[in-house]
Amino acid sequence: MTTEPQVSQSLPERVLGVLRAAEHAIRPNYTGVVIGAIFFAWSVSPSLLPRTWIFQGLVSGISAIIGYGVGCVLEWAFRKWAWPRLPVRMRARARFFLQFSDRTRQLTKMVIVLGAAVGVAAILARSARWQRDLEMLMGMEPTNTSSYLRTELLAAATVALVIGVFRVVRWLIRSIVRVLNIDWRIPRAIALPAGFLVVVVLSVLLFQGVLAKAFFSVANSAFSVRNSNTSPAAVQPVQPERSGSPQSLAPWNTLGSEGRWFVSFVPSAERIAQVTGAPAREPIRVYAGLESAENPEAVADLVVQELDRTRAFERKVLVLVTTTGTGWVDSTTAESIEYMYGGDSAIAATQYSYLPSVLSFLSDKSKAADAGRLLVHAVHERWAQLPPETRPKLLIYGESLGSQGSEAAFTGLDDIRTLVDGVLWVGPPNSNRLWGQLTTRRDPGTPEILPIYADGLIVRFAADAANLHRPNGAWVEPRIAYLQHASDPIVWWSPDLLFEEPDWLREPRGADVSKSIRWWPVVTFWQVSADLAHAQKVPSGHGHRYGTLVLDGWTAVTQPDNWNPDLEARIRQALNEDSDWEIAHK
């Protein structure tokens, strides 16, 4: 018995065999691969803030899968509608040119896949250089190109996971349709939408059941339970000048996590005297949480009662703070005022949400506005009853969503000048009504990142201390100051980025913004949206990290009589020391 001699395959044939097997298992859509690679390239283009390779991998993976889906839809639409409508002669010519051999088709597909992989690696290498440029601008450790290339692997894993889930869902729909059509004899025209509907219903039930329970369990742990938790370093105050003390009308256990920290982490009179070299008073801090009263109006009234109880209206300065999200107040901001005025100060704030700032921005913007309006008007009504010569300076502060909340308390600049003695707003969201009006109406020739409005007579915008003295002309009281970094995505994120190039990208860039960043429809919106998650993960002085710049803001808005450079330096050092301690213990 003779056997046929086995012919050994050449290397190209073996490679093609492996490719055929891989293609049969994966079944990629090659139009989707090309469009997905383009979307990936867009996702690693320069943006406002530097990113780690892990974060960039997730962002790029999501971008690539969106592009892959777009490519699949485009090919399907072409086959469904465009191809049948082409002239017969054109379709015949197209078929003639498409009659490649199997080897040629496989080589073409290999070129597409390898070209996409190599192109992605090349753009990643360029992106690593862009990242290094940004990191150097912000004083960060430069990214290593070889480590940043891991982004491609993480993005590929993200794409594979999403496609895998999609195919499982598609297989489930087809299986249900097959049972309905073959076993139950239901016409396919009815079985197909029925199968889709069954999977949708099952998914909804699953989400509302198992997944919803898991989600809300995590949410409760992160938000509601967190509101009840207290840092070990946060101890109930005994000083009557604090809310939450035994003498307080706002019980300690009702203040929420952020409120308890706010009233416990306070520089004592001794600490203030040590820093300033002069006698000091015990600072007053008043706070009301969501659980301190039955409704927002009662919360604002409780703050007024606490201010009366602590005799806050007898201090030199009274600051009203509209908080962000869970009720957070920036410690550096509060301490700046307390050190500046030797403790002869009172600061009041309220909580309006359990949610962190980003979620509050999406769902609780009206709550922030209501809280700001109620607090300012309730306190002002009581403050206005006092003789003008005995009233404390009434100041307003808000950061991020908090600035939007306190802006809502006023109808405009005239209203601010009538009601209060000064305002400091930090990192204002692009959707702030008053900020938007002032920026739009800025003096001709001044940039959007640092506008000048009405020659700086009433309101000024600053990214650093020097900007607060720009222009050199008069700045009448009461003063209003906005602090905003050119690299802060919270300030510059807007739905308008989808289809309209903003002025801050047309004009000369800020000092810490990459010169390589360009506006692209949709792409820039997605890039700045991704930057929101990293807004505070950069060094102080960049992004949404304002640090001791708030001290410069306060001294520009309301400066004590004894202010001098030596005192300013000592207070700034103390603020940095306190900030380091807070980071280590909160």
Query: So what's the pLDDT on residue 444?
Result: 96
Q: How many CA atoms lie within 13 A of 187 on its CB side?
A: 2
Single-letter amino acid code for the residue at 43: S
Query: So what's the pLDDT on residue 281?
Result: 97
Please answer whether residues 490 and 532 qualify as being in contact, where contact means their C-beta atoms are separated by less than 8 angstroms.
yes
Query: So what's the pLDDT on residue 215?
Result: 47
Residue 224 has pLDDT above 70, yes or no: no
Residue recorded with tokens 């807007």: 494
Query: So what's the pLDDT on residue 88?
Result: 78
Residue 267 has pLDDT above 80, yes or no: yes
Residue recorded with tokens 């080589």: 107
Which of 185, 212, 239 terminates a domain? The answer is 185
Residues of the chain above pLDDT 90, percent: 57
Query: So what's the pLDDT on residue 188?
Result: 79
Residues 288, 436 within the same domain:
yes
- Spatial separation of the C-alpha atoms in residues 364 and 358, rounded to whole Å: 10
Q: Does 208 reside within a domain?
A: no
Instruction: Report pLDDT digits (tens) over 171-218.
Output: 888 888 888 888 788 887 887 788 778 777 776 666 555 554 554 445
- For residues 313-335, average pLDDT: 94
Residues 142, 274 within the same domain:
no
Global model pTM greater than 0.75: yes
Starting at the earlier edge strand, list the strands of the sheet with 345-350: 284-288, 345-350, 317-322, 393-399, 422-426, 479-483, 459-462
User: Residue 18: pLDDT band by 50, 70, 90 thresholds?
Assistant: low
Binning the chain into helix, strand and coil, the percentages to the nearest 5 are 60, 5, 35
- Spatial separation of the C-alpha atoms in residues 241 and 314, rounded to whole Å: 12
Residues 455, 387 within the same domain:
yes
322 DSSP β-pair partners:
350, 398
Query: So what's the pLDDT on residue 538?
Result: 93
- Spatial separation of the C-alpha atoms in residues 175 and 367, rounded to whole Å: 48
Q: Does 54 reside within a domain?
A: yes
Which of 185, 214, 240 terminates a domain? The answer is 185
- What are the E-state strand segments in 478-517? 479-483
For residues 558 and 225, which has the higher predicted lDDT (pLDDT)? 558
Please answer whether residues 62 and 141 qualify as being in contact, where contact means their C-beta atoms are separated by less than 8 angstroms.
no
Residues 321, 423 within the same domain:
yes
Query: So what's the pLDDT on residue 221?
Result: 47
Query: So what's the pLDDT on residue 408?
Result: 92
Residues 553, 404 within the same domain:
yes
Domain count, the chain: 2
Residue 423 has pLDDT above 70, yes or no: yes
Q: Does 201 reside within a domain?
A: no
Residues 60, 163 within the same domain:
yes
Residues of the chain above pLDDT 70, percent: 86
Residue 233 has pLDDT above 70, yes or no: yes
Query: So what's the pLDDT on residue 375?
Result: 96
Query: So what's the pLDDT on residue 361?
Result: 53
- In the three-class reduction of DSSP (H, G, I as helix; E, B as strand; rest coil), residue 317 is classed as strand
284 DSSP β-pair partners:
346
Residue 29 has pLDDT above 90, yes or no: no
Residues 393, 479 within the same domain:
yes
Query: So what's the pLDDT on residue 501?
Result: 95
Instruction: Report pLDDT digits (tens) over 348-379.
Output: 999 987 665 555 555 556 788 889 999 999 99
User: Residue 338: pLDDT band by 50, 70, 90 thresholds?
Assistant: very high
Which of 185, 218, 241 terminates a domain? The answer is 185
Instruction: Report pLDDT digits (tens) over 137-171.
Output: 999 988 887 777 788 888 888 888 888 888 888 88
User: Residue 119: pLDDT band by 50, 70, 90 thresholds?
Assistant: confident
- For residues 219-238, average pLDDT: 66
| Range in 94-98, 401-405, 537-541, 555-559 with the lowest mean pLDDT | 94-98
For residues 257 and 86, which has the higher predicted lDDT (pLDDT)? 257
Residues 433, 287 within the same domain:
yes
Q: Does 477 reside within a domain?
A: yes
Instruction: Report pLDDT digits (tens) over 429-477.
Output: 999 999 999 999 999 999 999 999 999 999 999 999 999 999 998 999 9
User: Residue 301: pLDDT band by 50, 70, 90 thresholds?
Assistant: very high
6-20, 223-237, 492-506: which has the highest mean pLDDT? 492-506
Residues sharing a CB contact under 8 Å with residue 66, sequence separation 6 or more, in sequence order: 39
Query: So what's the pLDDT on residue 1?
Result: 46
Query: So what's the pLDDT on residue 98?
Result: 59
Q: Does 215 reside within a domain?
A: no
Residues 122, 244 within the same domain:
no
Residues 476, 574 within the same domain:
yes
Q: Does 459 reside within a domain?
A: yes
Residues sharing a CB contact under 8 Å with residue 246, sequence separation 6 or more, in sequence order: 238
Residues 460, 402 within the same domain:
yes
Q: Which structural domain, as residue segments, surrounds residue 574?
A: 229-485+546-585
Instruction: Report pLDDT digits (tens) over 388-397.
Output: 999 999 999 9
Residues 165, 240 within the same domain:
no
Query: So what's the pLDDT on residue 334?
Result: 97
- Spatial separation of the C-alpha atoms in residues 391 and 426, rounded to whole Å: 26
| Range in 138-152, 336-350, 505-519, 563-577 with the lowest mean pLDDT | 138-152
| Range in 117-126, 403-412, 451-460 with the lowest mean pLDDT | 117-126
Residue 99 has pLDDT above 70, yes or no: no
Q: Does 364 reside within a domain?
A: yes
Q: What angle do CA 124, 125, 131 make, to 5 degrees?
A: 80
- For residues 250-279, average pLDDT: 95
Residue 17 has pLDDT above 80, yes or no: no
Mean pLDDT of the chain: 87
Question: CA quadruple 475, 481, 486, 491: dihedral positive or negative?
Answer: negative
Which tokens in the block code for residue 179? Answer: 């049972």
Q: Does 17 reside within a domain?
A: yes
Instruction: Report pLDDT digits (tens) over 529-568.
Output: 999 988 999 999 999 999 999 999 999 999 898 899 999 9
Query: So what's the pLDDT on residue 217?
Result: 47
